[in-house]
Amino acid sequence: MNNAELAKSLGFTSEYADVNGTRLHYVTGGEGSPLVLLSGWPHTWWEFRKILPPLARNHRVIAVDLRGMGGSDKPESGYDKKTMARDIAELIKALGFDQANIAGHDIGAMVAYSLAANHPAVVSKLALLEVPHPDESWFGFTMLPQPPVPHLWWFAFNQLTELPQVLLNGRYRALIDHLCEGALVNQAAITDADRQIYAEAYDSPDAIRASNGWYQTFVQDIQDAKTYEPVSMPVLGLAAEGNAFLEVALRKHSADFQIHYIAGTGHYIAEEQPEAVVEHLLKFFG
């Protein structure tokens, strides 16, 4: 199914907006205060499929494909999180809102934090799922496995230019399956059909190049972060048990935060434990 059909299957609509010199795809539905969801690698807005309908009972929900993701444009540049945050700030304005609640996972969490740091007036409350914004501590990640620290081999792999396109084009499903194997407690939480949706979204040279761009800008993101004061709006952290990074970052980079750890899940918490994620988000955003 295409994005329009996928969105319709959830009672949502698939739409586009031209913002900040690029075209973003998003799906939207529900009534109430606006809630923007930002997804991560190697997924699309579809990673929120299980939480969209229940959230839409209380909010106007907008699940966005980031610049370079899924149905959105894949320009040659602009993958630093500050530029991507401006994309979302302009999207919120284009949709007619002065302010929105924001929740981001993985790369989407990095963009969400940058949005709060650079455009605080448009963010009411901020939720970060699993991942903080890059900072200088990231230079300490090891190239070799060093338990209990996760081996983030893809941080290095995605720094490469051209080679990922050669290796992965036409073979992206193998990478999706590999990452699911390592990051899911329950393999059935992301079905064969879901995995194929993700693989098809990334299985082209342009899509691979664009997703590499999110990682290749980390050094710039770290430099940008040095100029940010801790964000002042309320922040919620949601993380799998054993996540050692998010709380440390929240203590450094937010003035008003709470964090909750979710049992029975790996990295993809909205797909493995959607009921818990919905409960926390609805309680936090009101």
Per-domain residue ranges of the chain? 3-285
Residues 6+ apart with CB under 8 A from 180: 187, 190, 195, 268
pLDDT exceeds 80 at position 148: no
Report pLDDT for 197.
98
Report pLDDT for 163.
97
Amino acid at 259: I
What average pLDDT does range 206-216 have in this prediction?
98
pLDDT band of residue 100 (cuts 50, 70, 90) is very high
| Placement of tokens 């936090």 in the chain | 284
Residues 6+ apart with CB under 8 A from 286: 33
Neighbours of 96 (CB within 10 A): 7
Contact predicate 133/221, CB 8 Å: yes
SS3 state of residue 120 = helix
Residue 222 φ then ψ, to 5°: -65, -40
pLDDT digits (tens, 9 = 90+) for 32-87: 999 999 999 999 999 999 999 999 999 999 999 999 999 999 999 999 999 999 99
Residues in the chain: 286
Burial class (CB in 10 A: 0-12, 13-18, 19+), 35: buried
Superfamily of chain region 3-285: Alpha/Beta hydrolase fold, catalytic domain (3.40.50.1820)
Between residues 41 and 147, which one has the greater pLDDT? 41
Between residues 258 and 148, which one has the greater pLDDT? 258
Handedness of CA 40, 46, 51, 55 (dihedral sign): positive
Residues 6+ apart with CB under 8 A from 196: 173
SS3 state of residue 144 = coil
pLDDT digits (tens, 9 = 90+) for 232-247: 999 999 999 999 899 9
Contact predicate 264/286, CB 8 Å: no
